[in-house]
Amino acid sequence: MDLSNENIVHVKKGDLEYLQFRELLKYSDRLVHCYSLKPLMFSDQNINAPENYKKICGVLGIDDSKIIKSAQKHTDVVKDIKEYTNEKFEFVDGFITKEKSIPLVTKYADCTPIILYDKSQNVIGNVHSGWRGTLQKISQKAVNLMVKEYNSNLNDIIVCIGPCIKQCHFQVEEDFIDKFKKEFGNVEKYYKIGEVVEGKQKYYFDTTSLIIDYLTENGIKRENIFDSKICSVCHSDMMFSYRAEREKADRNMNIVMLK
């Protein structure tokens, strides 16, 4: 199976497979990025994770000893990285940097990976947006930080939304809809009414469209937003998915670095 589409290239190099955005490949002289695929595992508990970072970073030309990653506790906190540090970033879910040779990593099993790139100021961002992060508009907060720290112009920021649980599989209940209503007002266009299970009405929610809409409402150009259009649950044979595999799900990783 090849996951390539108009926005994504599915790369196969020896026994390694990963996804890249066509749009970001246009800036290959300035940055490198990818979203990992199975069988590479990147959860912190996995004893093979360090070796896997070495493997994939080796192929991409990245020094894996400089990786910046966080504990990802579904916060809305985004940090600007000015130099390499081995800090654990306990309550952080996103990074931005203007520094070269500092790889920013986030990890996934269904949550939404978002890479930001200001092609004019040459600033990157990598944001972990689970539904709680989406509710707290973490991707918008990363954009705001780029503007504040580096004077980014909204017209120059590219947004790449990686594989995640899409509407086809993102089954939620009333309480979830209520939380989003409270934050975003009318969210009717973001969900479909599903089945009733054990007396509970189910809904199918489209977090990707919601993210695209609030970013564009806040000044990001629609034509600068690129969606992978890949559902992690539909393709759980190729990527880790919490919905599909539950506790057995390891983690995929999303990496971006300025050269």
What is the DSSP-derived secondary structure letter of residue 168? T
Cβ-based neighbour number of residue 223 at 10 Å? 8
Q: How far is the CB of 43 from Zn ion (least distance, A)?
A: 22
Q: How far is the CB of 237 from Zn ion (least distance, A)?
A: 12
- The span of 125-133, 144-152, 214-222, 224-232 binding Zn ion (CB under 5 A) equals 224-232
Is the CA virtual torsion 245, 246, 247, 250 positive or negative? Answer: positive
Answer yes or no: are the C-beta atoms of 201 and 193 closer than 8 Å.
Answer: yes
Residue closer to Zn ion, measured from CB, 111 or 231: 231
51-110 residues in contact with Zn ion (CB under 5 A) are: none
Q: How far is the CB of 164 from Zn ion (least distance, A)?
A: 10
Task: List Cβ neighbours of 123 (8 Å cut-off, separation of 6 or more).
Answer: 96, 97, 98, 116, 117, 146, 149, 150, 152
- Does residue number 231 form part of the binding site for Zn ion (CB under 5 A)? yes
Answer yes or no: are the C-beta atoms of 183 and 190 closer than 8 Å.
Answer: no
CA neighbor of 252 nearest in space, from 90, 92, 5, 18 = 18
- Among 233, 238, 244, 258, indicate the residue that binds Zn ion (CB under 5 A): 233
- The span of 31-39, 180-188, 190-198, 230-238 binding Zn ion (CB under 5 A) equals 230-238
160-179 residues in contact with Zn ion (CB under 5 A) are: 168-169
Largest CA distance in the chain: 55
Residue closer to Zn ion, measured from CB, 168 or 197: 168
Block residue for tokens 């026994």: 15
Block residue for tokens 């209940």: 173
Residue closer to Zn ion, measured from CB, 49 or 230: 230
Q: How far is the CB of 233 from Zn ion (least distance, A)?
A: 4
Number of residues forming the site for Zn ion (CB under 5 A): 5
Q: How far is the CB of 167 from Zn ion (least distance, A)?
A: 8
Where do runs of H (alpha helix) occur along 45-152?
49-60, 131-135, 138-150
Answer yes or no: are the C-beta atoms of 93 and 127 closer than 8 Å.
Answer: yes
Residue closer to Zn ion, measured from CB, 3 or 145: 3
**How many Cα atoms sit within 13 Å of 45 on the Cβ side?**
5
Cβ-based neighbour number of residue 199 at 10 Å? 5
Q: How far is the CB of 197 from Zn ion (least distance, A)?
A: 18
234-253 residues in contact with Zn ion (CB under 5 A) are: 234
Q: How far is the CB of 231 from Zn ion (least distance, A)?
A: 3
CA angle at 28 for the pair 143 and 110, rounded to the nearest 5°? 55
Residue closer to Zn ion, measured from CB, 160 or 233: 233
- The span of 30-38, 196-204, 214-222, 226-234 binding Zn ion (CB under 5 A) equals 226-234
**Positions in the binding site for Zn ion (CB under 5 A):** 168-169, 231, 233-234
